[in-house]
Amino acid sequence: MPGHFEPLPGGGAAVALDDVEISIIRSLAVQLLELIGPGPAEDAPDDPLAELFAEGPSEPPADPVLRRLFPDAYTDPEATPGPREAEEQRAHSSEFRRYTENDLRAGKRENALAVVRSLDELTVGSEGGAVLELSPAASRQWLGALNDLRLAIGSRLDIADEDDTDLLYRLPDDDPRKPMVMAYLWLGGLQETLVSTFML
């Protein structure tokens, strides 16, 4: 079980983590929460209906990581549309973003919070580690958060496709990106083994 998720009888998954791994995942999840920002409830008036019908932003985020987490819905990064088609795509993406981004942010926020809370509930043993056991619902939240963390790190590393990942494997140890690359690859392994628990 060390380093990878295994299925639990009756559903869910478990993984053994040492105290350093717990600290790294927790820190990354907290950073993701800070990046996503507080929910609309933090600034909303006392009227709960106002929050329910609040519109989100219509423009893509300026931060490249947030653009990766909340991409435009109607644009194809590999296509080169004409001016009229590009304008239509921007208008459709803007409208879609206005009505969906708040919910998407809330979902990503809940997933990251679930990761932090489950790690905070762990009792680290005398050997400096613990076994994290997740229910099926918590496993899905962890899967979403791991995906978001990898997207965020991948964006900071300018990873666009598999060829970029291959280049990262060959980085020298003194490259300042190396720790981030190692975290990216390690989270990928966790994500892959967690996905496999859903298939059994």
158 secondary structure, DSSP code: T
Q: Which of 70, 133, 155, 140 is nearest to 110 (CA)?
A: 140
Average of per-residue pLDDT across 62-83: 78
b/e string for 139-172 if b means 16 or more Cβ within 10 A?
bebbbbbbbbbbbbbbbebebeeeeebeebeeee
Joined tokens for residue 157:
């590393």
Average of per-residue pLDDT across 76-84: 71
Residue-wise pLDDT for 83-105, tens only, equals 887 677 777 777 777 777 888 89
pTM of full prediction above 0.85: no
Instruction: Report the Cα 13 to chain-centroid distance in Å.
Output: 19
Per-chain mean pLDDT for the chain = 84
